[in-house]
A and B are shown apart, each in its own frame.
Chain A
Amino acid sequence: MRYNEKELQALSRQPAELAAELGMRGPKKGSVLKRRLVKLVVNFLFYFRTDEAEPVGALLLERCRITQEEPSGFSICFMEDPERKYHFECCSEEQCQEWMGALRRASYEFMRRSLIFYRNEIQKMTGKDPLEQFGISEEARFQLGGLKA
């Protein structure tokens, strides 16, 4: 799959929702914990060597699971291969909770579900479709089932 690294690098420079130096261990066997600057930007998690401007890598946070790991750490795994885990070590339990919360809400599909939930609730309460005033009620991305691929 072809993608332009420069586009992703530009995205990694955008304002982060959360950024911190965390311990990180990749999914490969024998990987060791390394110090990384970890940045959450929209639905991508970028990780950097602490002395470099360009990221080492990026994780798209769709169809993933965030799990708490002892002690004060968490892991990210993806649906197509749940055994492959990216481990992260935080400084405190509090920091760990902050990251887990932010990562669980970082997916586009989560935003879409939230939107559909709010839309239905408002419609039930007021009898009006809240998206109509903006002329976007027909948008495929705001529908329950969406288009079939």
Chain B
Amino acid sequence: MKLNERSVAHYALSDSPADHTGFLRTWGGAGTPPTPSGAGRRCWFVLKGNLLFSFESRESRAPLSLVVLEGCTVELAEAPVSEEFAFAIRFDAPGVRPHLLAADGPAAQEAWVKALSRASFGYMRLVVRELESQLRDARHSLALRRHSSWKAGPGHQKPQAPERPSPGPENGHPVSKDCRPEDLVEERGSRPAGRGLAEWQGPAGLFLGRRQSPSLPETSYFSMLHNWYGQEIVELRQRWLQRAWASRPERENRDGH
């Protein structure tokens, strides 16, 4: 089976952000003999989107291997040598052996398992769909608020609409105060499709300014996806919520409540 390998390797080395990187020991996938010592081979791993690449070294320019993280599960595993921080990528397909990997320590192991188990396209799509509907709701309630304040007349400030908390910087992305959200309501219909960004799926659109936007995926696209992937999404959502639930205590500690 053919694959556009040169383009895949090009993507692996491109300047678009990596989602996780680090050294891991590997006991090889199909066709790789085990190392004589049994300690595995130490390689540099780069996770990009739903693709996991390995390299001989950090500086190496040619990927040794590729694993597409779709239809797989990531779980803690026992390495051939005891007391390794090992985990396995398992595929639900006949005759496919799991990929056995090991990190240098428990923190790295946890970070890798977390990053790999959230790497699928479906997970990303689920989060995008969730945010898309949240944005639609936010715009809808804003439009209602504008409507009710128009009815109340200019003399009556603060209709029954709830107060908005003042925006503050979060995650290093300061929220602009000069932005008038009202613009966005009108903007949506009239905005050109943003072909320039969409045409090259490359880095052109990766470093967006605050006022720039990628071409908005049309709502019809998402509702189409919703119908086609309805079942898959319901399942993924459940798993996602479970995961979100599982990580709650951690967050509560951090937030101090």
Contacts and interface: CB of A to CB of B under 8 A. Distances in A.
Contact of A118 (B49, B93, B134, B247): B134
B194 to A, nearest CB: 10
Given A108-B121, A109-B201, A130-B134, A124 B175 contact: yes
Dominant secondary structure of chain B at its interface with chain A: mixed
Interface string B69-88: 01110000000000000000
B236 interface: no
B18 A148 contact: yes
Interface residues of B, number: 100
A contact residues, range: 35 or more
Interface string A106-149: 01111111111111111111111111101111111111111111
A43 B214 contact: no
Contact of B122 (A42, A134, A141): A42
Given A17-B228, A136-B127, A7 B138 contact: no
B251 interface: yes
A149 B18 contact: yes
Nearest to B182: A125
B65 A6 contact: no
Interface stretch (B8-16, B33-41, B148-156): B8-16
Interface in B60-115: 62-68, 70-72, 91-96, 115
B229 A1 contact: no
Contact of A117 (B6, B19, B175, B214): B214
A71 interface: no
Given A64-B7, A117-B214, A147-B17, A111 B167 contact: no
Interface of B: 1-11, 14-21, 29-32, 46, 49-51, 62-68, 70-72, 91-96, 115, 118-122, 124-125, 127-128, 130-132, 134-135, 138-139, 142, 164-168, 170-171, 173, 175-176, 179, 181, 184, 197-202, 205-208, 210, 213-214, 216-217, 221, 225, 228-229, 232, 240, 244, 247-248, 250-251
Interface of A: 1-11, 14-15, 17, 42-44, 54-66, 78-81, 101, 104-105, 107-132, 134-149
Closest A-B pairs by Cβ, 4 of them? A146-B17, A57-B2, A108-B49, A10-B93
18 contacts: A3-B68, A5-B1, A6-B91, A7-B68, A11-B70, A42-B70, A56-B2, A58-B1, A59-B4, A79-B200, A108-B121, A114-B216, A116-B208, A122-B131, A123-B173, A124-B179, A127-B166, A134-B240
